[in-house]
Amino acid sequence: MSASLGGSLGGSLGERIRLAHGGGGVAMQQLIANELSGLYADPTQLLHDAASLALPHGRLAFSTDSYVVQPLEFPGGDIGRLAVIGTANDLAMVGARPLHLSVGLILEEGLELVVLRRVIASLAAAARECGVTVVTGDTKVVERGKGDGVFINTSGLGLLDGLAPIGPAAIRPGDQLVVSGDLGRHGVAILAARHGLRLEPPFPSDCAPLWPAVQRLLAAGLRPHGLRDLTRGGLAAALQELASAAAVDLVIEEPLVPVAEPVARTCALLGLEPWQLANEGRFLAVLPAAALAPALALLQPSGATWIGTVEAGPSRVRLRTGFGSERLLAPLSGDLLPRIC
């Protein structure tokens, strides 16, 4: 089995899809660039969280995502809540107010109806929390053993303001980097639920809508130059994507990156990197220098923290350690541990 796709899936009988191709790192980026980019009229949109659509009477953002998490229910959420929050957050990352969702359900034969009812009730509650309406959907049932209980696809529409959509093209040297809260909660919550780890006290996922925080920034006139929600691949993947897309050097103050003590302890025990763990209620904001102080004041209740600066230079991410040295942040490779969506 090949280590990466490299060329085309049709180029060799030995090439196969691996779990790493869904992990948010190098393998997934190679899959998108080598095999899927031909689907898009504008390949530069490939790494955006949502597409921006210019229509005669306004501008909309459109996004779609699929969710295959196990277990279906976990501390702080479930697959239904995750499906709504995830797509609503993707819309928020281009500065769009989430409006409408479609919901596609793939159900496995043998799924208990009581579980489905809980998931649907949670999905509906999350939609109300995000201020979105479910307007269309589809349901399919597959044979026992051909699914994983429930798979959900959600597509979302959001309303953009009249300004240019938020995206990497606006990022400039001198911009400042802010994370909206501590990292790795969702990854640890899924890991604990999946493998029966008894964390005391129980540690819930951070699964929560991001539009309210983005809306506060926009309402205050503090328009970010870039936004990324820190899902698959965590902060590490988001930094690598932005550095590549904007062709800039991101300099990160490693000791300032916020990690909650239970996450740090779990990572130390299991040899995981909190920067690479998934989040479902955190984002990275790239802000003009003049907006840094007022933005931190607005976002402080959620634990927002300044972590670094954008500099001119090659597309890379440099970490400044607590000892005054520097190291490069290596791109994520291999399987995502734990798989979270």
Pairing of strands 249-253, 97-108: unpaired
Q: Which residue has the tokens 């043998």?
A: 110
Q: What is the pLDDT of residues 73-118, one digit of tens each?
A: 999 999 999 999 999 999 999 999 999 999 999 999 999 999 999 9
pLDDT at 143 (0 to 100): 92
Structure tokens at 144: 């026992």
pLDDT at 56 (0 to 100): 54
Please tell us whether the domain made up of 48-159 is placed in CATH 1.10.340.30. no
Any idea where the domains of the chain sit in the sequence? 1-46, 48-159, 168-328
pLDDT at 280 (0 to 100): 96
53, containing H or E segment: strand 51-55
pLDDT at 12 (0 to 100): 52
pLDDT at 79 (0 to 100): 97
Fold: same for 48-159 and 168-328 = no
User: For residue 159, with 0-12 CB atoms within 10 Å meaning exposed, 13-18 middle and 19 or more buried, which class applies?
Assistant: middle
Q: What fold does the segment set 168-328 form as a domain?
A: Phosphoribosyl-aminoimidazole Synthetase; Chain A, domain 2 (3.90.650)
pLDDT at 35 (0 to 100): 77
- 0.85 exceeded by the pTM? no
CA angle 88, 91, 95 (to 5 degrees): 130
Q: Which residue has the tokens 């791109």?
A: 331
pLDDT at 17 (0 to 100): 74
Structure tokens at 333: 């490779």
80, containing H or E segment: helix 79-92
pLDDT at 53 (0 to 100): 59
